[in-house]
Amino acid sequence: MQKTVSVVIPCYNESEVIDYTVEELLNVTNSIEGYQFELIFVNDGSADDTEAKLLNYSKQHEIVRLISFSRNFGHQPAVSAGIEAATGDAVVLIDADLQDPPHLIKDMIELWEKGYDVVYGTRENREGESRFKLASAKWFYRILNYLSEVSIPLDTGDFRLMDRQVVNQLNAMPEKNRFIRGMVSWIGFNQTSIRYQRNARFAGETKYPLRKMLKFGLDGILSFSVKPLKLSIIMGFISSGIALLMLLYTVYVRLATDHWQSGWASMLVAMLFIGGVQLISIGILGEYIARIYNESKNRPLYIVKKNLGQKNDDETSRSS
Ligand code: UDP
Ligand code: MG
């Protein structure tokens, strides 16, 4: 039996480019022999005629499917819906604006057949983006990687192929603030990358204004690191340490010299002490909140790849 590959394309107000995208994807998938394809377009509440166009294509071509949201929910929810609806043995995520070259799907499939479970595209070069976007993206991926407990590949977006077993794990993760590229890293299995030049947008303009970029960046950092929560406990200890030194100095000035003022020492000692205690207390709260947060994400405790020497050696995972 032929394997099926699903391609998920989130679309938000992409009327200007969608005809080219559909055509290009149909061409590419037609040219790859030996596989069945389904193209799942997720219309994320577009206000233009993206939905009408896609509806038309879905009537013309059997492999085109359409999911349409009731309003704009955002890129990551749109991708999640597509992944959930996909029936393929592998799922490819690709943007609707042809920034990620569709012909790479062939290379991704080849690597998948060699045994890789995730093949992600790493951007070697990005054309047609503002300086601000380039610099902020560059720093974002580096800070995220530093903060995160799993290593998340640098300069890598959602353009990727995932094997069915990775997709199943992804679907089983119930968290609401989804940062898919991080979740896929977290899931593990055999992952590899292909490097590519990211083109400029084929038509239209970015659907990621600063506001959405910030939300997305915060989701990434906060979903994959509790280090910001732990910051105050570190600050608490540092400031308490400094306070202790100042405290000793204050007492020394009060007792051993004669240029002190009345009330100065007692007030400063009280202030420094309370400041330190407050920061440490907030830090302790942070530690508890970090634990509650991690529990509430409800990710599996671990994911088993192989379990040899047992009767039932299915891939299994256990919920925490
Ligand atoms: N997108 C979406 N919902 C949104 C914003 C974007 O589905 O709220 C889609 C968009 O149609 C495109 C992809 O997500 O297919 C990436 O968006 P865009 O190209 O505007 O982002 P950029 O490449 O500029 O970061
Ligand atoms: Mg784009």
Q: Which of 95, 133, 141, 199 to mutate to test the pocket of ligand 1 (most atoms within 8 A of CB)?
A: 95
Nearest residue by C-alpha to atom 14 in ligand 1: 75
Q: From atom 24 of ligand 1, which residue's Cα is the shortest distance away?
A: 206
Q: What is the pLDDT of residue 165?
A: 94
Distance in Å from the first CA to the final CA of the chain: 37
Determine the average pLDDT of the residues in 101-126: 93
Judge residue 73's burial from the number of C-beta atoms within 10 Å of its C-beta, 0-12 exposed, 13-18 middle, 19 or more buried: middle
Q: Encoding tokens for residue 97? A: 């604006």
pLDDT in tens, 262-274: 777 778 778 878 8
Q: Which atom of ligand 1 is nearest to the CA of 205?
A: 20
Q: What is the reported pLDDT for 92?
A: 96
Q: Per residue in 2-15, pLDDT tens? A: 999 999 999 999 99
- Which residue minimizes the CA distance to atom 2 of ligand 1? 75
Distance 280 CA to ligand 1 centre (A): 42
Mean pLDDT of the chain: 88
CA-proximal residue: ligand 1, atom 16 (nearest): 95
Tokens encoding 1: 């039996």
* CA dihedral for 12, 86, 24, 104, sign (positive or negative): positive
Structure confidence at residue 316 as a pLDDT band (50, 70, 90)? low
Cα-to-centroid distance, 232 and ligand 1 (Å) = 35
Start-end of H helices in the chain: 15-31, 50-60, 75-85, 104-113, 131-147, 164-171, 180-187, 210-224, 227-256, 264-297
- Can you tell me which atom of ligand 1 is nearest the CA of 74? 8
Q: What is the pLDDT of residue 319?
A: 52
Task: Please report, to the nearest 10 degrees, the dihedral formed by the alpha carbons of residues 66, 72, 78, 81 taken in order.
Answer: -70
Distance 1 CA to ligand 1 centre (A): 35
Burial (CB count <10 Å: 0-12, 13-18, 19+), residue 195 = exposed
Distances in whole angstroms, Cα of residue 160 to Cα of each of 122, 190, 215: 9, 13, 22
- Report how far ligand 2's centroid is from the alpha carbon of 95 (Å): 6
Is the Cβ–Cβ distance between 175 and 299 less than 8 Å? yes
* DSSP state, residue 118: E
> pTM, whole model, 2 decimals?
0.82
Atom of ligand 1 nearest to the CA of 12: 11
The binding-site residues of ligand 1, defined as CB within 6 angstroms of any ligand atom, are 10-12, 14, 44, 72, 74-75, 78, 95-97, 99, 206-208
| 44 within 8 A of 131, measured Cβ to Cβ | no
Contacts of 314 (CB under 8 A, 6+ apart): 307
